């Protein structure tokens, strides 16, 4: 603790020769204060290195100037391995907050836990951003209850019809479709899908729907034996690829529901002496920084994380200001790298 007593707005008021209320107004840029008074107050504040006590101002004004970012994830053995895609989102969310003058509180949570009280209800944050490959459906009632209590929440994830909460997400369906069409163009016909395509992973499910759509449009028959569940980790990708090989079904391509799954799968294929992309083309989803550096470089779908972060923050602030907000879907972009160039490298 500093030895000196804390400097308050009363000290500034005395120094500037105005009332404490005027200090408060001047420092918040209220238009009620005359230009000259404001200058005098600002000079006094600067000379004493005064800063407004956020706790007091928040208590009085009922706003915190803070947003909370909650990462949802299953408990992982390795604490420090965060899904790289969400890291990129974290970066852009942080900067978007800074641009808007908001602070950002972050926290890692398990979806099943009782996290709601921690932020909005204790007035630490004015609103909450949820990030994660979340099965929000299962927790829909909780989200709904929060919303009813007046908590402002914006989710990143699958944008689905009939979702009562505001969601920003990329167009997973189109993404899945684009990747699959690209693989078909490479001459692949037995394209495996690695990822849990159930409603527990709504984003994966959408990507899978796009995959099915692309196959059907081209008249390629769908073989359920080519779909293997996986969650978004390398380990899970390796296991899924092992399971796929164990099934003995022939396949000439893998569309992994995320880059981490794809990278794990490539590892397994290599270990089995299977060449990528000559024998099996592989594509992922997310365009994590690693994607361009694995061997072979990974074809994937890029999401505009910078814009996504801005949209999450902007929409949450609109919600906080009681402005109309709707869920929004962002376009994605296919990034072709060597891992999927089945055609060029072989046959």
Partner DNA sequence: CTGAAAGCGCTTACAG
Among 17, 19, 91, 331, binds its own copies (CB under 8 A): 91
Q: Which two tokens stand for residue 6?
A: 């804390």
Quick one: 43 or 56, whose CB is closer to its own copies?
A: 56
Quick one: 32 or 79, whose CB is closer to its own copies?
A: 79
Burial 164-195 (b: 16+ CB within 10 A, else e): ebbbbbbbbbbbbbbbbbbbbebebebbbbbb
Query: CB of residue 202 vs its own copies: minimum separation in angstroms?
Result: 23
Q: Does 110 bind its own copies (CB under 8 A)?
A: no
Q: Does 39 bind its own copies (CB under 8 A)?
A: no
Q: Does 306 bind its own copies (CB under 8 A)?
A: yes
Q: Does 56 bind its own copies (CB under 8 A)?
A: yes
Q: Does 103 bind its own copies (CB under 8 A)?
A: yes
Q: Which residues pair with 71 in a beta bridge?
A: 108, 131
Query: CB of residue 317 vs DNA: minimum separation in angstroms?
Result: 16
| Contact region with DNA (CB under 7 A), list: 47-55, 104-112, 137-145, 281-289 | 47-55
Among 2, 4, 32, 273, binds DNA (CB under 7 A): 32
Q: Does 268 bind DNA (CB under 7 A)?
A: no
Query: What is the C-alpha to C-alpha distance for residues 28 and 39, in angstroms, rounded to an integer?
Result: 12
| CB 259, CB 286: distance < 8 Å | yes
Helix (H) or strand (E) holding 272: none
Helix 259-271 / helix 234-247 crossing angle, nearest 10 deg: 50
Site string for its own copies, 160-179 (x = CB under 8 A): --------------------
Residue 338 binding target from DNA, its own copies, none, CB below 5 to 8 Å by type: none
> What DSSP string describes 215-270?
HHHTTPPP-GGGEE---SSHHHHHHHHHHHHHHT---SEEEESSHHHHHHHHHHHH
Q: Which two tokens stand for residue 44?
A: 């006094």
Q: Using CB under 7 A, which residues numbered 187 to 216 contact DNA?
A: none
Query: What is the C-alpha to C-alpha distance for residues 57 and 53, in angstroms, rounded to an integer?
Result: 6
Phi and psi of 260, rounded to 5°?
-60, -40
Among 25, 177, 182, 208, binds DNA (CB under 7 A): 25
Chain residues in the site for its own copies (CB under 8 A):
1-3, 49, 51-56, 58-59, 62, 64, 66, 79-82, 84, 87-92, 94-95, 98, 103-108, 117, 121-124, 149-150, 263, 289-290, 293-295, 305-306, 309, 322
């Amino acid at each position: 603790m500093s030895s000196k007593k804390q400097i308050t707005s009363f000290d500034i008021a005395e120094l500037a020769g105005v009332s404490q209320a005027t200090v408060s107004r001047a420092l918040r840029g209220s238009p009620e204060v005359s230009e000259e008074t404001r200058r005098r107050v600002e000079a006094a504040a600067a000379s004493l290195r005064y800063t407004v006590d956020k706790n007091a101002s928040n208590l009085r004004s009922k706003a915190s100037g803070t947003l909370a970012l909650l990462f949802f994830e299953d408990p992982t053995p390795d604490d420090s391995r965060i899904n790289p895609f969400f890291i990129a989102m974290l970066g852009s969310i942080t900067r978007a907050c800074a641009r808007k003058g908001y602070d950002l509180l972050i926290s890692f949570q398990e979806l099943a836990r009782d996290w709601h009280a921690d932020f909005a209800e204790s007035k630490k944050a004015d609103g909450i951003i949820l990030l994660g490959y979340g099965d929000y459906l299962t927790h829909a009632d909780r989200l709904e209850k929060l919303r009813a209590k007046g908590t402002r929440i914006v989710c990143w994830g699958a944008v689905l019809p009939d979702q009562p909460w505001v969601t920003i997400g990329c167009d997973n369906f189109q993404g899945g479709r684009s990747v699959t069409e690209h693989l078909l163009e490479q001459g692949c016909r037995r394209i495996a899908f690695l990822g849990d395509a159930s409603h527990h992973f709504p984003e994966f499910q959408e990507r899978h729907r796009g995959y099915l759509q692309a196959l059907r449009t081209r008249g390629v028959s769908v073989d359920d034996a080519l779909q293997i569940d996986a969650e978004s980790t390398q380990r899970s990708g390796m296991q899924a690829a092992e399971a796929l090989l164990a099934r003995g079904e022939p396949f000439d391509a893998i569309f992994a529901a995320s880059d981490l799954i794809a990278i794990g799968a490539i590892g397994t294929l290599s270990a089995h002496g299977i060449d990528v992309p000559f024998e099996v083309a592989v594509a992922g989803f997310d365009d994590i920084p690693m994607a361009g550096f694995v061997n072979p470089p990974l074809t994937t779908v890029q999401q505009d994380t910078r814009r996504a972060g801005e949209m999450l923050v902007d929409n949450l602030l609109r919600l906080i200001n009681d402005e109309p907000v709707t869920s929004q879907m962002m376009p994605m972009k296919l990034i072709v790298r060597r891992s999927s160039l089945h055609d060029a490298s072989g046959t």
